[in-house]
Chain A
Amino acid sequence: MKLLESNSLQIKKKIVSRELHSTDIVRHLFERIKNLEPDIQAYITTTEEEALKKAIEIDKKIENNQQVGLLAGIPIAIKDNICTKNISTTCASKILKDFMPPYDAFVTKRLKEEDAIIIGKTNLDEFAMGSSTENSRYKITRNPWNVEYVPGGSSGGSAAAVAADMAFMALGSDTGGSVRQPAALCGIVGVKPTYGRVSRYGLVAFGSSLDQIGTLTKNVKDAAVLLQVIAGYDPRDSTSLQVPVPDYLDNINSGVNGLRIGIPNEYFTEGLHSDVNKAIKDALKIYEKLGANIVYLSLPHTEYAVAVYYIVANAEASSNLARYDGVRYGHRTNNARGIIDMYSRTRSEGFGSEVKRRIMLGNYALSSGYYDAYYLKASKVRTLIKNDFDNAFEKIDCIICPTSPVPGFKVGERANNPLQMYLSDIYTIPANLAGIPGISIPCGFSSDGLPIGMQILGKHFEEKRLLQIAYAFEQETDFHLKKPALRVPLRQR
């Protein structure tokens, strides 16, 4: 097997056992990135020099028999809305072009502490607002399985990089499905942890009550290890919770015998692509074979989820993005007359159209006279959606459903139809509204050869159980081992 196709744990094992040098892997990887980047466009920034420096340090540690961290020598990519000290963090926006945070996000700090090698910052929809990574102000990331297709979004850069073996693992953020949906569309594993499981300190806020940092990996065990590193309480994030972090790898093979899997009727309706429907149904047969029981159930408030989400997320976003005003950092217009004009020009120039649309929608929902009808009402319905899950989890252990209603869509296909774009997240949004964890794993391919993702949702803080359930399926199948046909750089084909 080719070196770069290995998963993270395999690579780490080889480095720690001195079979391979960390530096060699980094060099190989950057060679591949250079070859594939023109076609995939996964990265906004790459940090080859710093990565090599870190690799040398790790090789030295191993040579001197020093203890190394959980992610020793693993090259990892970080979504460009997660702050990295002295590495630009743009959120794929012009307004934060050249913004250099003087601090690390909690998760960045954790990666460094565990000896991961940060190789670059990945592309996303501007401020994570989108489901296709087409809303980036810098580049459009392509799906490695078919470059005419989007990789999903907003963590499309991270997903494409991992799927194309341009990174061994990656961090993303998930506000309404932005980790799980691109993981599904790129055929990899994506975990959105429970809200409060991973500190948001240093994650540039989009929808503060929904945002959660998640993992994008080549398989379930890699996800377990990466989650192990980033999970935990952080006093700098008041919404992170003091719940002990279990050992996610321990007993990961405990199986699904007797597991009660809930199938929500509302998730299998007319909008669902037949290939996706079939792949999920096939997957359920595997689970049944493994001893799990299927329980059909109802999540009655599902139909309101997308509407609730776009009110809550946009309201929070309109406020979170108010700070980009040209006063203290980031872009400032060159020609302004007075302060109001400076604000207006700076923001007009700095933000792209989707971001502007959401700021306007959010401000509208919060305006005096509309607050009760929109934001307050949405908050109440959000509680109903959460109650749906709480009720369901009294009878079942997890929910299985599609991650995305379609296997994928082409670049430009939905770009001019925001509503259709918003519906891409119809199956992922409810988990964010309820704050529950979810994982998307590869479960098949469409007739066009695009990967299909299956979503498993669980109770708050039951990531460990979700990983066990996902791992059981992964052991029975080889979808996660399939690689896109990107052996040769596309330009040379």
Chain B
Amino acid sequence: MEYEVVIGLETHAELSTVTKLFCGCSTQFGVEPNTQVCPVCLGMPGILPVMNRKAFEYALKLAVALSCEINRFTNFDRKSYYYPDLPKNYQISQNYYNLGVNGYMNIEVNGNVKKIRIHNVHLEEEAGKLIHPEEIGADYSLVDFNRAGVPLLEIVSHPDMRNVDEVESYMQTLRKILLYTEVSDCKMQEGSLRFEASISLREKGSDKLGNRVEIKNLNSMKSVIKAIEYETVRQGRLLDKGATIARETRLWDEVAERSEHMRSKEDAQDYRYFPEPDLLPVLIDEKWLHAIKDTIPELPLDRKQRFMEIFKLSDYDAGILIEEKALADFFEACVKILDRPKALSNWIINDLLREVKDRKLDIYNLPIKPQQLAALVEIIEKGTISSTIAKEVFSEMIQAGKAPQAIIEEKKLAQISDENLIELVINKVIANNPNVIEDYKKGKKNALAFLVGQAMKETKGKANPKVLNELLQKKVNT
């Protein structure tokens, strides 16, 4: 039988606030265990949470960016479950009045735009981390509460995706929006962006949803894709045999590349949600919402469209430029200085990105300024240096962080267009290669190219090729 895969994603993104959601502890990653903790995030007796306004605004910003309806009255709820990494044994989350509901996000797959509906966006606190000792036979585990209380945004999609390409695009687009809105640094290796997938299969053409299986422990986007592919095959085989799919939660094993049963629907925890009495409801007025809306930048797909329309860039080029907000910002800053979008885009895509890759540069902290790249392109267009020399200059700009003019002067790389100087060189080359001239006169046309090469070598590549060619032609033909 032919099946259709139905996929929904739950995304957790740690917000990039300086302090935690309900206390003043730092959110810095990778420090000594249990050094960024206080009575609030340790769940000590008698201690109360106080909401971090910045975190709330970040959450609101993302909800708006995902075109959600904003609940003007929202509050927090307690989600209860016992786990040693959860200090209060309840997580302060949102359940009854989520911050944002009924949103959507446009994704692009093979040039087509698809709308993926967002069920809700809500704010909650992160848990701590269990550390299991490596020693064999250890009868204890340790827990680090440094992450406990870090603000966490949960974004729940509708099951609107039908294949892994859409899932891939959804994850990438969402990541870009999180980065564009600057609410999360999305460092997957630090766990600040995580996904959980729910997958079901149904007969092609049917509009009834099949039994859903949730997959946890997906540590990278690659794992998400692999897990969905695995699960599609697994469920398909079961259905082919006439079996029913059990509603369950499965754990992805990254090493074995397979999922394993974790718990079934019947064992699902009862979280006993109820409104958090220690925090007041948050009322969002028009003024606040407007202020938040004003901080939302142009989103990646809109920017791509604009780049294609205004700057006449290709779909491919615009796509690469908007991949990282910093890169797109860099490009636009360059264009503002020098109106040569195509040339600038080529330099960024071909040369800058190669340097970024080779030298492992931080795209958010490039050693080159937009003015410098614009200056370089301008210099090339004026004919001060050839494009070959320009590559050399560019490399030097990246390494030394200097302006192109300075490098050209310092290394005396400026193109020689002075006819007298070039004539001197040509004379020398002709004198040194009498037999080549002979060959040329006998009809061997490419002998000329050899002479051009020799002249270039003589000028260390700085001779203006156009002038050099013209003069040489004139010389050998008289």
List chain A positions with a Cβ less than 8 A from chain B.
Answer: 81-83, 89, 91, 96, 99, 101-103, 105, 200-205, 207-209, 235-239, 315-316, 318-319, 322-325, 327-329, 339-340, 343, 363, 366-368, 371, 375
Contacts and interface: CB of A to CB of B under 8 A. Distances in A.
B45 A209 contact: no
A323 B43 contact: yes
A363 B279 CA distance: 21
Nearest to A207: B277
Given A238-B280, A325-B89, A343 B82 contact: yes
Given A363-B272, A366-B274, A322 B45 contact: no
Contacts of B219: none
Residue among B49, B80, B143, B274 with the most chain A CB within 10 A?
B274
Contact of A319 (B48, B80, B87): B80
Given A102-B39, A319-B272, A339-B84, A205 B46 contact: yes
Given A200-B48, A327-B143, A319 B39 contact: no
A202 B277 contact: no
Contacts of A343: 82
A203 B46 contact: yes
B42 interface: yes
B46 A319 contact: no
Interface residues of B, number: 29
B273 interface: yes
B66 to A, nearest CB: 28
Contacts of B274: 315-316, 319, 366, 371, 375
B39 A323 contact: no
Nearest to A369: B270
A288 B462 CA distance: 111
A202 B47 contact: yes
A83 B273 contact: no
12 contacts: A82-B46, A201-B48, A202-B46, A208-B277, A239-B280, A316-B277, A322-B80, A322-B88, A324-B45, A327-B143, A363-B272, A367-B270
Nearest to B271: A368
Given A102-B39, A208-B278, A319-B78, A237 B272 contact: no
B89 A238 contact: no
B272 A239 contact: no
Interface string B126-150: 0000000000000000010000000
Contacts of B394: none
Interface of B: 39, 42-51, 78, 80, 82, 84, 87-90, 143, 270-274, 277-280
B82 A325 contact: yes
Q: Taking chain A's interface residues, is the majority helix, strand, or loop, or is none over half, making it mixed?
A: loop
A415 B90 CA distance: 32
A209 B277 contact: yes
Contacts of B89: 322-323, 325
Contacts of A83: 45-46
B49 A238 contact: yes
B272 A367 contact: yes
B279 A204 contact: no
A343 B44 CA distance: 17
A79 to B, nearest CB: 12
A91 B273 CA distance: 26
Given A102-B39, A319-B272, A375-B274, A238 B45 contact: no
Contact of A105 (B46, B78, B280): B46
Given A322-B80, A368-B270, A89 B45 contact: yes
B38 to A, nearest CB: 9
Contacts of A203: 46
A322 B42 CA distance: 13
Given A239-B277, A319-B274, A325-B82, 8 more contacts: A83-B46, A236-B50, A238-B48, A239-B48, A323-B43, A324-B45, A328-B43, A371-B274
A327 B84 contact: yes
A238 B39 contact: no
A259 B39 CA distance: 47
Given A363-B272, A367-B272, A375-B274, A237 B48 contact: yes
A328 B87 contact: yes
Nearest to B88: A323
Contacts of A371: 272-274
A240 B143 CA distance: 33
B351 to A, nearest CB: 53
Contacts of B80: 319, 322, 366
